[in-house]
Structure 1
Amino acid sequence: MRTSKREVILDAALSVVKSHGVTAVTFDSVATASGMTKGGLLYHFPSKDAMVLALHEHQAQQWEQQLINALGRRPEDATQDERLAAYARVSVQSVTGPELLLMLEASSDETLNRPWQEVIGRWSPDPTSIDPADPAALQKMIIYLAADGLWLNNSIGATPMPRKLREALAEHLARSVDALVTGATDADLP
C-alpha cells in the first residue's frame, strides 16, 4: 500500500522530534526531513500548530490500533475488563522517545492532550467512577497503573528489562484482570 503524502509529512515530523525535540518541529525542519517543499506541507497543514496537532492525533491513532490488535476487535464491542487486559498486553511495547516527548508536551496543552485522552478514556478505568471501598475496582486501577509503569520503564532510563520478562509481566497483568472477573486468585494464574 502506498504511503500518503500526509503520512510522509507526519513521519518526517516524528523524526524531527526524535532528533531534535518537539520545539524543533517547523515547516523548514519537516520539509527538509520529508524531502518536500514548504508549499507542499502548507497544502496539507495550514499552520505549524495544525501539523503538530495532526502529529499528536496520528500517534494516538497508532497507539489505539495496537490496542485494537491486542483486543482483536473494536473497543465498543468489548467489556471494560477486556479493554483493560488489552491495555496491559500492549504495555509490553515501550514508549518511544518521540512518543514520550509528545505526550509530555500534550500534558500541558488541552488541545494536544485531547487525542491521547480520548484513547485512554476508551481503554482504561475511569478514576472518577472508582469506589475507594471496592477492592476489585482498586485492583483494576493498580493493574492499569502497573501497565503504564511497564510501558514507561525503558523510556525513562530505568534498567532495561529482558523482552521475555516484559512479556511475562504484561501477560500477568492481563490475566490478573481476568482473575478479578472470574474470582480466581493469584495462585490460580498460570
Structure 2
Amino acid sequence: MRPSKKDQIIAAAIDIITEGGMAAVTMDAVAAKAGVSKGGLLYHFPTMVALHEGIHEKLAADWEQEMEHLAGGTADEVDRDTRTEAFIRSMAEKSTPAELIVTVHAITTPNMSASWDAVEARWSPPPPDDDGRGSNAFAARLAADGLWIHNANTPTTPAEKARRRHLIDHLVEWARTPDEQV
C-alpha cells in the first residue's frame, strides 16, 4: 500500500530534520522533499505549527506502537512490570538523531509535548511515591532515558550492540527488583 500524501509529507519533514535540524524544516523544503506542491502541503498542514504537530504525533505514535509490540499488547492490556520493561527497552535499544531533535523541540516549544506526554503517561514508570516505593523502576527509566540520548549520538558497532543489550537487560532486572533489595 502506498503511503498517504500526509504520511509522505511527514516522512520528508523527518528526513529534513535528520539532515539539518528543525530550523531546516520550511514549507518549501518539505514540499520539495515530499514531491508535492506547496498547495498540496498546505492542504494537509496549513501552518508550520500544524506540520510540527503532525511530526510530533507521528513519532509519538510510532514510539507507542513499538512499546505495544515489545509488550505484546496495549498499555491497558499489560501489567505494570511489562509496561516498564517495554518502556525501558524502547528507550534504550534505539534512537535516531531526528527523534532526539524533535523531542527537544517538544520540550522547548509551547504546546508541542502533548502527543509525547500522553504516550509517556500510559507507559512510563511513575516517579517514586513519598515512601520511596517505585524508586528502582523510576531510576532504571532515567538510565534508559540517558542511554536513549547516548544511542542517538554514538555509532553502533557489534561490540557496542552487545554491551547495550547487556545493559538493557540489567536495567529491566533493576526495575523489577523490590526497592528494599538494592
- TM-score under structure 1 normalisation? 0.86
Question: How many residue pairs get matched?
Answer: 181
Match of 2:129 in 1: 131
2:162 to 152, 164, 171: 164
Residue 93 (structure 1) shift: 2.6
CA distance in 1, matches of 2:124, 2:153: 22
Task: After TM superposition, list the pairs within 5 Å mapping 1:12-91 onto structure 2.
Answer: 12-91=12-91
The question of whether the paired residues in 1 share the 8 Å contact of 2:81 and 2:176 is answered with yes
CA distance in 1, matches of 2:102, 2:172: 27
Residue 96 (structure 1) shift: 0.8
Q: Secondary structure at the match of 2:50?
A: helix
CA distance in 2, matches of 1:23, 1:94: 24
Match of 2:172 in 1: 174
Q: Does 1:154 align with 2:137?
A: no
Unaligned runs of 5+ in 2: none
Unaligned runs of 5+ in 1: none
- TM-score under structure 2 normalisation? 0.89
Backbone CA RMSD of aligned residues: 2.3
Decide whether aligned partners of structure 1 residues 22 and 37 sit closer, same or farther in structure 2, where only a CA change above 3 A counts: same
Match of 2:98 in 1: 98
Residue 27 (structure 1) shift: 1.2
Residue 158 (structure 1) shift: 8.9
CA distance in 1, matches of 2:83, 2:123: 5
The question of whether the paired residues in 2 share the 8 Å contact of 1:94 and 1:153 is answered with no
Residue 80 (structure 1) shift: 2.3
